[in-house]
Structure 1
């Protein structure tokens, strides 16, 4: 088994990926480097979130923000069988089912906070500051719950493959 792993590990020894993963080598203060990187990533995402977005206040499609908002609207108001077929000329749902269920959960939470954010068809182009804050917080929270733990597990796995000697 060790011989089979060796060519795979050697593939990365002289790559930029190896240089990137060096802070994740086994060390006593390894957790500090990880959480500094995570904190930096969250700060950058938060700073970017303070800016505008494509299509802001631009009818009739209103940009990417409206697409995400509309997908939350579709998933909480329509049966699953209609998610991928509803109003394809506007912002039809075109993400995989797991992402659609993620939209459903976030839409359900958002509708408890303010139901007018996701009123079917009536909320098109809605861009209040409260809704923007909610959408941006859910994006960062989703990364903290799903994406960053996956990256942490991957780098830990890759680090154990690369630095096992």
Structure 2
């Protein structure tokens, strides 16, 4: 699983995916085959198993993932140089949405959480832990929200609970950092 907002924002994923596919690997969304990349999170996995040893498969995957990480870092550096104020604005708008929304759908929450994580990584936001994206991406999924509620929820009820959960978690995070 890889968080690749820099490559998405610089529109490089469209050229990277076919190149990865040619290497016998596949890029999928967060939930595997046929799913979209919610929150700029992609799953990179092996597609070819016949005729390759386990060690070769793992080595190939590690090599490609290292290259993708390098390209993501370069994309973030380019964004910082060419669009820093726009990027900072996007991050803080997403933070504002997450911290203040009373209703938020899964897709919007995932996008805003991705922006928030990017803002943390780029040093725009300093009072929130990097683990927030991972934690909230799981906690805000429809199935988890329903399990937490102890029963079925309508889409609107889930969106309301998702927004409340995110607000509460962000409030806890900023209190923890300020010593409160």
- Report the TM-score when normalising by structure 2: 0.30
Q: By percentage of residues, which structure has more strand? A: 2
Q: Which has the higher contact order (CA 8 A, sep 6+)?
A: 1
- Report the TM-score when normalising by structure 1: 0.32
Larger Rg: 1
